[in-house]
Amino acid sequence: MNDTRWLNPEEEHTWRAYLHAHRLLLDAIDAQLRRDSGMPHAYYEILVRLSETPGRVLRMSVLAEGTRVSASRLSHAIARLEERGWVRREDCPTDKRGQLAVLTDEGFAALAAAAPGHVEAVRGALFDALDPEQVRWLGAVSQTLADHLGATGGRVGPQEPNGTAGAPVRES
């Protein structure tokens, strides 16, 4: 009749704690970026991606893959970033279907301005709360999970060993 494999108490607790912690964490990060830099975290991630790339250009499809967002969402997002002058679209020379998203100097400046506050927020919300062993485990578990979901349930296939966000390319 009912062959659902319900969660056992430990799993249940873990899942709820995870949801709880994650919501608080991401809400804090997103709120900080919106408040101090006028951009949602999703946009920050896009800008970071672009900033790390030689020429600060990326094809839409690659960018979508890299930031794990749907094509549609990226298209809308880039449209808005374009309105702000932070990103510019160009035609892809090798594939007439393609579009390139180019980070403008204004976009890079906006990112550079946002980065310190954002990094402080991440540090304050996440790393300040965890001891080194916890950080290692969080990294390991996240990696395992990302591999699992990337290969199995997730959006797509071949995974780069990579996530998003942080600081823009440090110009060193």
Which residues here bind DNA, judged by CB under 7 A? 27, 30-31, 34-35, 39-40, 42-43, 59-61, 64, 69-80, 89, 92, 95-99
Find the length of the chain: 172
Residue 16 touches which member of a second copy, DNA, none, C-beta under 5-8 Å by kind: a second copy
Residue 52 touches which member of DNA, a second copy, none, C-beta under 5-8 Å by kind: none
The CA angle 42-48-52, to the nearest 5 degrees, is 155
Q: How far apart are CA 44 and CA 142, in angstroms?
A: 21
Phi, psi of 136 (to 5 degrees): -60, -45
Residues that bind a second copy (CB under 8 A): 2, 4-7, 10-28, 45, 68, 115-116, 119-120, 122-130, 134-146, 148-150, 152-155, 162-167, 170
Q: C-beta of 134: minimal distance to DNA in Å?
A: 26
From first CA to last CA, the distance across the chain in angstroms is: 63
| H or E stretch covering 103 | strand 99-103
Contact indicator for 58, 100 with CB cutoff of 8 Å: yes
Q: How far apart are CA 67 and CA 161, in angstroms?
A: 12
Residue 113 touches which member of a second copy, DNA, none, C-beta under 5-8 Å by kind: none
Q: C-beta of 96: minimal distance to a second copy in Å?
A: 31
Strands (E), 92-144: 99-103
Q: C-beta of 64: minimal distance to a second copy in Å?
A: 12
- Give 94 or 172: the residue with its C-beta nearer to a second copy: 172
Q: C-beta of 97: minimal distance to a second copy in Å?
A: 25
